[in-house]
Amino acid sequence: MSTAASTLATLAKAEHSQLLIIDIQERLANVMPDNILATVLRNSTTLIEAATKLSIPVIRTEQYPKGLGATRAELLAASNENTTVLEKTCFSSCGANGIESLLSNPERDQWIILGMEAHICVLQTCMELLEQNKTVFIVADGICSRNKHNFKNAIARMREAGAIITNTESVMFEWLRDASHPQFKELSRLIR
């Protein structure tokens, strides 16, 4: 099986994942379509809570917070003191100061990505992670763009480049792997 085929056949594994939330900030969120933003916030909060319970590292980036504001309050409430927060001005999160040690961790080579905007910061981060031979999962119901065409274009480009396009529930149940998991009952309540 080729490397691309084996990557695309990969399931998200809790012991190999890092959850990356890209730039879900006040001023950027305010220009997103309301119904789509609500879905992104709900699904991002769900995966932050699941990752925290499963001891999966959570990384949150903020693009020029002086101009775009702080991370949305819903996500801050779901996060804990172990969340890594990186400020950046570059569009790709791979250029943020402090991400180097996270990128070099061979135990955590699966990057589960949520955030905005799909066709700018999410796309550039995805492409740079793929260039570094990371396995990238794009949570399609956890990313957005101001317009639907840009969102669809970003999804197509990331899929063609080798990213795994997935959704919130798939990631969470792949992390759990089995209904006998000790966190199954508690985490399955997050999606009801």
The mean pLDDT value for 31-42 works out to 97
pLDDT at residue 5 is higher than 70 = no
Domain extents in the chain: 3-8+15-191
pLDDT at residue 1 is higher than 90 = no
Distance (Å, whole) CA 78 – CA 49: 6
Beta strands in 135-187 (DSSP E): 135-144, 164-166
Stronger pLDDT, 8 or 43, i.e. the higher one: 43
pLDDT at residue 81 is higher than 80 = yes
Contact 2, 127 (CB under 8 A): no
As its CATH architecture, domain 3-8+15-191 has 3-Layer(aba) Sandwich (3.40)
- Predicted confidence at residue 192, as pLDDT, reads 80
Query: pLDDT band for position 8 (50/70/90)?
Result: low
Distance (Å, whole) CA 190 – CA 165: 21
Query: pLDDT band for position 161 (50/70/90)?
Result: very high
Distance (Å, whole) CA 46 – CA 130: 25
Joined together, the tokens standing for residue 87 give 């400020």
- Predicted confidence at residue 2, as pLDDT, reads 41
Average pLDDT of the chain to the nearest whole number: 94
Query: pLDDT band for position 15 (50/70/90)?
Result: very high
pLDDT at residue 111 is higher than 50 = yes
Q: What is the pLDDT of residues 50-78, one digit of tens each?
A: 999 999 999 999 999 999 999 999 999 99
